[in-house]
Chain A
Amino acid sequence: MSDHSEILPRRQSMGGIADQLTGIPLYFPAKRRWVIAMTFASALLLLLMISVVELFTRGVGIWGINIPVNWAFAIHNCVWWLGIGHAGTLISALLLLTGSEWRNSLNLFAETMTLFAVVCAGIYPILHLGRPWYVYWMFPYPATMGVWPQFRSPLEWDIWAVLTYLTVSLVFWYTGLIPDLAAARDRATGRRWQILLRSAIYFGSGSGSRRGSARRGVTMPPWCVRRQPDW
């Protein structure tokens, strides 16, 4: 395997760029900016929490919805996040389909966006219920009362759609993350981190064999293929 890639600058070795990448989470370069962004995001999260408390205390009527348009605000909030999630999947899929070799970092970013957007969308089927404390009735569990989900209800579909989307996105995201986990593993100094990262990679490589992964050259950036499993 060549030590250089066609998409990297000539002077940049693959190990060098892996060093740069792992350096970002390990030796955080922009603490101040991160704190500012995090403060702003936390303020929005706090607003959400206050709104949710208000919602659970008083009921879905606080949205000003009424008969016959009784979803309105509720439905567009969920679909808003699903839309953001779909954008991530679309970016990732288009880059794969066009065979863009440089896609890995962008794909991972897009898929992370998808994952978090789906998590956001996933809380809405709970928030939308008139009696959210019964949300577990939407799962087909063997209840002694004989309660069974109403599969003709779109809110029921939301639950399954979101769970499916979450599972698939998680698999996509994780697959793309393996090379980065490998790069981090190679630079991990603590024994615990080494074991943890190794397990995380082992989990994703299926049989755990050194060879035979057809995906190796496709999903993983070249600098990681070089340092692939040495267990």
Chain B
Amino acid sequence: MHATHSPEGLNQMVYNRCIGTRTCSSYCPYKMRRFNFFDYRAPADSPTQAAHNPDVTVRSRGVMEKCTYCVQRIEAAHVTADKESRPLRDGEVVTACQQACPTKAIVFGDIKDPNSEVARLKRDGRHYVLLEELGTRPRTTYLARWRDDGSGSGQG
């Protein structure tokens, strides 16, 4: 019901305001949103779970959600950087998917900083934007896969 963009460009949701009409999902051109059709908290908001996972609100039944770009990790990095009175370093924030990816296919960083790794990759010839023609300007973009031409040179 109430989605907005943070100053850093994250598409954010106010979970408390979601009444679960599922309109945003129906409108989503990427169909990336996921809905809590049932109550998946088991047991619901137990103290143990809250202790092990203090940064992430576990969404209740009837609430839409989507990738937050691990906002809790971004915030933690901000806190560290602020304590040390310095700006965030490129690569300082590692998202959970990035951390878990076995082939290191995921890069996360400040796309407005021209020197960041992610900005460098966005200048790559293989870079493309899904549904770019719709003008959705998504934060997540992709690199086209390499296709081996069979020459064994290692060049595409």
Contacts and interface: CB of A to CB of B under 8 A. Distances in A.
B19 A138 contact: yes
Interface size class of A (residues with CB under 8 A): 20 to 34
Nearest to B1: A150
Interface string B52-79: 0000000011111000000000000000
A71 interface: yes
Given A70-B26, A130-B63, A58 B38 contact: yes
B59 to A, nearest CB: 10
A70 B1 contact: no
Consensus secondary structure, chain B interface: loop
Interface in A118-134: 128-132, 134
Identify the interface centre among B19, B25, B35, B37: most chain A CB within 10 Å of its CB: B19
A155 B61 contact: no
Contact of A67 (B19, B23, B25, B61): B25
A213 B18 CA distance: 50
A119 B152 CA distance: 71
A156 B36 CA distance: 20
A137 B19 contact: yes
Query: For chain B, which range describes its interface: under 10, 10 to 19, 20 to 34, or 35 or more residues?
Result: 20 to 34
A130 B35 contact: yes
A61 B61 CA distance: 10
A73 to B, nearest CB: 12
B19 A130 contact: yes
A71 B64 CA distance: 13
Contact of B23 (A66, A135, A147, A152): A152
B37 A60 contact: yes
Contacts, number: 77
A154 to B, nearest CB: 6
Contacts of B31: 67-68
Contacts of A131: 18-20, 60-63
Contacts of B20: 60, 129-131
B34 interface: yes
Interface in A135-157: 135, 137-138, 147, 150, 152-156
A70 B1 CA distance: 15
A53 interface: no
A154 B133 CA distance: 25
Contacts of A156: 21
B23 A153 contact: yes
Nearest to A148: B2
A135 B19 contact: yes
Interface in B1-48: 1-2, 17-23, 25-26, 28, 31, 33-39
10 contacts: A58-B38, A59-B61, A60-B37, A60-B62, A70-B35, A130-B37, A138-B19, A150-B21, A150-B23, A154-B21
Interface of B: 1-2, 17-23, 25-26, 28, 31, 33-39, 60-64
